[in-house]
């Protein structure tokens, strides 16, 4: 490949879009895994909050702003479950899963960039 062809290819490549799309995929995967963790019926293992009404589970959403992803809940119960209260122990379900997903998500986003660059 000639240098001029490489420069022209790089000028046409929208790496921000590539990163954004990969970030969206990874964010949705994390949100899906959080929802899955919140599917344990009452009486089952209590590592994560039980799924009593499904409201907490259905409140899990993602929001992407540029190259920043927010994954969380709009349900105030999430805060009580994540950190506990005076009467219930903490049952964190956001932070542990985010920690588990961080490195693989970063690698997947990086791989999407590499794949885009190799397509030139």
114 Cβ contact partners less than 8 Å away, ≥ 6 residues apart: none
pLDDT > 90: percent of the chain: 72
74 Cβ contact partners less than 8 Å away, ≥ 6 residues apart: 59, 61
Average pLDDT of the residues of the chain: 92
Position 87 pLDDT exceeds 80: yes
- Provide mean pLDDT across the span 109-118: 93
Q: How confident is the model at residue 1 (pLDDT cuts 50, 70, 90)?
A: low
Domain boundaries, the chain: 3-118
44-72: pLDDT as tens digits = 888 889 898 999 999 999 999 989 999 99
Confidence (pTM): 0.86
Burial class (CB in 10 A: 0-12, 13-18, 19+), 45: exposed
70 Cβ contact partners less than 8 Å away, ≥ 6 residues apart: 62, 63, 64
């Amino acid at each position: 490949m000639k240098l001029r062809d490489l420069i022209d290819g790089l000028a046409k490549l929208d790496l921000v879009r590539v990163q954004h799309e990969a970030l969206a995929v990874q964010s949705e995967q994390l949100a899906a895994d959080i929802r899955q963790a919140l599917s344990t019926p009452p009486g089952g293992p209590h590592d994560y909050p039980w799924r009593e009404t499904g409201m907490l589970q259905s409140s899990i959403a993602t929001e992407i702003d540029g190259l920043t992803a927010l994954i969380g809940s709009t349900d105030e119960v999430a805060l009580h479950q994540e950190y506990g209260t005076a009467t219930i122990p903490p049952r964190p379900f956001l932070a542990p899963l985010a920690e588990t997903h961080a490195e693989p998500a970063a690698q997947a986003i990086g791989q999407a960039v590499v794949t885009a660059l190799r397509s030139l």
